[in-house]
Amino acid sequence: MNNKLRNGIALSLIPQIIFVQWLAGHPGWVETYYSNGIYPIISQFFRFLFGWIPFSVGEIIYTLLIGLGIFYVFTKRKKIRQYPYQFIRNVALVIAIFYFTFNLVWGLNYYRIPLAETLEIRDSISRPALLDLTQKLIWKTNQIHREITGDSTSKVIMPFDRNEVFEQTVAEYGTIAHKMPFLQYKRPSLKKSMYSLLSTYMGIGGYLNPFTNEAQVNALTPLFRFPVISGHEVGHQVGYSKENETNFIGYLVTMKSEDKYFQYSAYSYALSHCMNAIAVMDKSEFDRLYGQVNNGTKKNYQELKDFYEKYQNPLEPIFESVLNTFLKVNNQKDGIQSYSKVVNLLIGYHEKYPI
């Protein structure tokens, strides 16, 4: 590749950014021509290509690329010091190619019409609505918990392994797509992450590899939470990028299951988000409501808390900062806090469709 071409590709990053920001102001175009046009074709092609392979091809590619990058910097360190501007140009070239590919194969979904508009629900929160929904979620979670365990004190133990959860998640998407076609999921590619331990230290429950469209789920996640996390990652695959929206989709698909264990995963998940929102708003109200939760469910929550505390480390704030920046750059102004914005969608949805 000659220098003129390298310079041209590197400089293309600027018009790319301008074009993507322009698209951000035209969500209707993105929805019609990309999210419901180009993207389904691209995503299904990659899932057809890699979905049948039992391990993550994308994670192997990432590993090789990182290794090659380290090898290049190490072996070319003298040349890099001698020609620093050439090295900066080459880095810009790589970023330009990455940025173009990322947006083409998945990233533009960040700029589609918000899910709340698609569902025709409000995307906001008020204290009375939050308290009302939380009270209903407590009742529903307690009810399903007792149906599963037969008492209020035993924690729920999932009877499935993680591969069975994946199979059931795919089936649930097939069911919900009859009523919500925008959640249609073809050619599944749902896998346990090869780097689950690293993901746990980073505080990540799963992620979508946009370049292979493989959904990776942290295989160490406690099983009672595993169904809703799996549903979340498939939500990314069907074309929703924002974390609050895929949190909600994961809840919705799992909640509508006829399986009691999946329902428990969904309702206990939604309840935990609402309780966290109340804890920020009014600690005394949190204590009052949490006292109504079955002790068995509290044990499940403690299991999750113990799990994350076990892997806390000094680098976690750095990982969170990187994720926070990535989300803000990609049209999620609340950054990492966007995950908790699922409460807004939960309130809006259950105002329209009561529990």
List the beta bridge partners of residue 269: none
Cα–Cα distance for residue pair 142/132, rounded to 1 Å: 16
Q: Tokens 């009859």 correspond to what residue? A: 178
Instruction: Decide if 46 contacts 105 (C-beta within 8 A).
Output: yes
pTM to 2 decimal places? 0.91
Looking at the DSSP bridge assignments, the partners of residue 201 are none
C-alpha–C-alpha distance, residues 291 and 11, integer Å: 59
Encode the chain (355 residues) as per-residue pLDDT tens digits. 678 898 999 999 999 999 999 999 999 999 999 999 999 999 999 999 999 999 999 999 999 999 999 999 999 889 899 988 989 999 999 999 999 999 999 999 999 999 999 999 998 889 999 999 999 999 999 999 999 999 999 999 999 999 999 999 999 999 999 999 999 999 999 999 999 998 898 888 999 999 999 999 999 999 999 999 999 999 999 999 999 999 999 999 999 999 999 999 999 999 999 999 999 888 999 999 999 999 999 999 999 999 988 887 665 555 455 445 544 555 556 544 545 589 999 999 999 999 8
The C-alpha atoms of residue 300 and residue 265 are separated, in whole angstroms, by 10
pLDDT of residue 330: 58
Predicted pLDDT of residue 152: 94
Query: What is the model's pLDDT at position 336?
Result: 41
Give the pLDDT score at 338.
44
pLDDT for 307: 92
